[in-house]
Amino acid sequence: MATAAALVATSLLATLLLLLAGGASAATLALYNKCGETVWPGIQPGAGKEILARGGFQLAPNRATSIRLPTGWSGRVWGRQGCSFDAAGRGKCATGDCGGALYCNGAGGTPPATLAEITLAGTPTALDFYDVSLVDGYNVAIAMAPYHGSGANCRAAGCVSDLNSVCPAGLAVRGGNKVVGCRSACAAYGNAEYCCTGQFGGPQQCKPTNYSRLFKRACPKAYSYAYDDPTSILTCSSGTSYVVTFCPHRR
């Protein structure tokens, strides 16, 4: 006999497939909160691109929603945690806060925040580019999977490990008695070597560090530092839809 948890998971999978199928004529982004607590997704468009879903909203545990993606859209998605907002949508989040607002309206999230990034193809023959990035640090596990896409490099990206559990003390952000986020070495120390700036401002000059290697070991399918392109950026055919799952390994 199926357990209640299995039935919920099956129901959510069916919902996600329906949401994506509904966007069969255009690319769709489905967001699924598999965490045990509420997540407030934030969405920041690239320069000159449309703000989607007012830039942020609340997503309860074991719930999913979808957003139609305009052709050629680019932007990033992240999960805010530990948020509290009043009736006017003002408040704050423990991680990923976007200026104390429920609706980010184009603003980005305060690091540390795990990012799902995407640049959609502008023409039918071009490719989508996407990745999950730890360049702004980590707060919640994210998986990003293509749906009905094709290509040799069209596969799942993500940081599905609990990076907070192995975060070095100098990078850790604490909330109460636990680590709620793990900053990048650049954010924590500001060194040019960690930030890939100044004399380290290029792929030949900026190499992996002990901190980025730790991130890469924990999350081999995610960007660990600014020039981690060869193992982290993925591509799919134009018109592919995507599922971003928060806490993907939670049962």
Q: What is the 3-state secondary structure (H, E, C) of 74-113?
A: EEEEEEEECCEECCCCEEECCECCCCCECCCCCCCCCCCC
pLDDT of residue 2: 38
pLDDT of residue 23: 47
Reported as type and span, the H/E element at residue 210 is helix 210-218
* Alpha helices (H) in 118-205, listed in sequence order: 185-189, 192-195
Phi-psi region of 82 (alpha: psi -120 to 50; beta: other; left: phi over 0): left
Under-50 pLDDT residues of the chain: 1-11, 23
pLDDT of residue 145: 96
Give the total residue count for the chain. 251
* The amino acid at 77: V
Which domains does the chain possess? Answer: 24-246 (2.60.110.10)
List the beta bridge partners of residue 91: 85
